[in-house]
Amino acid sequence: RGFLQILGRVTLVTVVGAAGTFWYITYKDRNPGPQLPFDPSKKTLVILGSGWGATSLLKGMDTTDYNTIVISPKNFFLFTPLLPSVAVGTLGAKSILQPTRYVARHKARQVSVIEAEATNVDPVNKTVTFTDTSPLRPLEPTRTIPYDYLVYAVGAETQTFGIPGVKERACFMKEIGDAEQMQARFLDCIETAAFPGTSEEEKRRLLHMVVVGGGPTGIEMAGELHDFLEEDLKSWYPELHPYVRITLVEALPSVLPSFSKELIAYTERTFKESKIDILTGTMVKGVSEGSVRLKPKDSKEHDLPCGLVVWAAGNKARDISRNLMAQLPDHQTNKRGILVDDHLRMLGAPSIFAIGDCTATSYAPTAQVASQQGAYLARMFKLIAKRDELARKLDELSKTSDGKDLEASKSKETESLAKQIERIRLKPFHYSHQGSLAYIGSDKAIAELPIFGREWTSGGVATFLFWRSAYLSTLFSLRNRALVAGDWMRTKFFGRDVSRE
């Protein structure tokens, strides 16, 4: 009895403690305190973008050192790794978004968040021009502001190679709007196929989903589509299930070139079991209404009828990045993206720091790289603020005109300030690879993790559980974690929602 009493008390204390902690965290999150106002004596730091790089910087930086302004056409952070799950309705769109203002409101000094698209960066006069592109525009939708430092983190856009019909007819998988658009198109294919009198041939075409690109985005998208078709279409539209087909088209000889051979083979096997066709060595040459034009390596071009095309053929630089690079032709010579030094300063414009997918570096364009670069800059800006403050004091000292007897002490102070400045060393950026994970459908994932200096590879259901827990813990906030976990449970118990707006 004594043991049960102790156990009861321990359980009570644990439950009350956990509830109290949860309440405290959510209360603090929901009720941010007052912030320091902008300080005219501080330098202006402008951050372009609200993606992985920008948000990681904002989260990690001490905003008391700067007047910080964030400009992005999206007023939120998007957790891209779970975007394909939104496209098939496993997750709700809002579950993987975190409003940038939530992040900004928890900083010590006020951060100005402006929902607008930057249209030009002038690296010589150090200004940014931006425009409000929303339907309800203010009277003067375009503004130009000066910056002392600029963090350029605008990401990249989807590469189409100018292939005819791609922009007009294919669905991309980069923004939250892309996932919503794809879901609408996908459900349209299904409902149209279910319409009375639709011919067998038309049903087969409408329910043929083609994914272009065998990189991680294309593979994850094909896997998610398969899950929807197997787990939900089979239940809600049983008469359509025999017509369903998924094809993944990849121009290179193999899918997932950045993963190990074993994991490529494992993915190909899993896709075969899931009846997902893989066409490697096949280039998509065009997208028309109702088909894609294929050019296999060793045979003639032909059309493949389909209802939906998802385009996941990689990244290219945004127009604003190309314009910026064109202003510094002697330094910016790589069309793929912005060239930076080992401190992430843009070559030719040392007041601009460029991070993430908009850069051309030896790193892969991943969230991991962008977020580590953002976190690195947060640390660097602390040191830069310290260095700038010392430099300001030094400058002031040199301008003051003291009497002769003060000259000696002044030179001592000058020397000490100069020494302090010299001691501030900005370390170069170092990337630490934490491994790669990808979902391949049928509750299976693949993983490549560096453990004790060796590359550990794994694939299957256990890896899928690891994938889920890894992403759940990486999600931005407790709010996101609760929403995503809730969506996973909703899908497990009630299936994906097939209603259309």
Taking CB under 6 A as the rule, which mask of x and - marks residues 203-232 in contact with ligand NAI? ---------xxxxxxx-x------------
**Interaction between residue 424 and ligand NAI (CB under 6 A):** no
Distance CA 214, CA 228 (A): 19
3-state secondary structure 95-110: HHEEEHHHHHHCCCEC
* Contact partner at residue 73 from ligand FAD, ligand NAI, none, CB < 5 to 8 Å by partner kind: ligand FAD
Residue 370: name its binding partner from ligand FAD, ligand NAI, none (Cβ under 5 to 8 Å by kind). Answer: ligand FAD
Q: Does 47 bind ligand FAD (CB under 6 A)?
A: no
Shortest CB 296 distance to ligand NAI, Å: 11
Spatial CA neighbour of 217 closest among 81, 352, 363, 91: 81
Tell which positions 252-311 bind ligand NAI, by CB under 6 A: 252, 258, 283-284
Torsion sign (Cα): 455, 461, 464, 466 = negative
Q: Report in angstroms how near the CB of residue 81 gets to ligand FAD at its nearest.
A: 3
Collect all residues with Cβ–Cβ distance below 8 Å to 145 and sequence separation of at least 6.
44, 46, 69, 127, 128, 130
Residues near ligand NAI (CB under 6 A), total: 27
Q: Which stretch binds ligand NAI (CB under 6 A): 57-65, 145-153, 181-189, 432-440?
A: 432-440
Of residues 243 and 381, the one with the C-beta less far from ligand FAD: 381
Q: Does 240 bind ligand NAI (CB under 6 A)?
A: no
Residue 459 in the binding site for ligand NAI (CB under 6 A): no
Question: Does 360 engage in binding with ligand FAD (CB under 6 A)?
Answer: no
CA atoms within 13 Å, Cβ hemisphere of 230? 14
Please return the burial class of 190, using the count of CB atoms within 10 Å of its CB with bins 0-12, 13-18 and 19+: buried
263 is in the binding site of which of ligand FAD, ligand NAI, none (Cβ under 5 to 8 A by kind)?
none
SS (H, E, C) 74-98: CCEEECHHHHHHHHCCCCCHHHHEE
Shortest CB 307 distance to ligand NAI, Å: 19
Answer for the pair 105, 120: CB distance below 8 angstroms, yes or no.
Answer: no
Nearest to 95 by CA among 501, 491, 495, 494: 491
In the bound state, the residue with its beta carbon closest to ligand FAD is 51
Shorter beta-carbon distance to ligand FAD: residue 180 or 191 = 180
Q: Give residues 91-150 in contact with ligand FAD (rule: CB under 6 A).
A: 117-118
Tell me the DSSP string of 163-177.
-TTHHHHPEE-SSHH
Least distance (Å) from ligand NAI to the CB of residue 184?
A: 21
475 binds, among ligand FAD, ligand NAI, none (CB under 5 to 8 A by kind): none
- Asked if 171 touches ligand NAI (CB under 6 A), the answer is no
According to the binding rule CB under 6 A, does residue 72 interact with ligand FAD?
Answer: yes
β-pairing, 208-212 vs 308-311, is parallel
At residue 462, what are phi and psi to the nearest 5 degrees? -65, -40
From the CB of 49, what's the least distance to ligand NAI, in Å?
A: 16
Among 42, 44, 45, 50, binds ligand FAD (CB under 6 A): 50
Site residues (CB under 6 A) for ligand NAI, limited to 43-82: 81
Enclosing H/E stretch for 270: helix 261-273
DSSP states of 174-218 = SSHHHHHHHHHHHHHHHHHHTSTT--HHHHHHHTEEEEE--SHHH
- Distance CA(330)–CA(322), nearest Å, equals 14
Determine the size of the site formed for ligand FAD (CB under 6 A).
33
The token pair at 419 is 């020494």
> Could you say which residues in the range 154-213 bind ligand FAD, by CB under 6 A?
154-155, 173-174
Binding interface with ligand FAD (CB under 6 A): 48-54, 71-74, 80-81, 83-84, 117-118, 153-155, 173-174, 217, 318, 320, 356-358, 365-368, 370
Q: Which residue ranges make up the site for ligand NAI (CB under 6 A)?
A: 81, 163, 212-218, 220, 249-252, 258, 283-284, 312-315, 364-366, 436-438
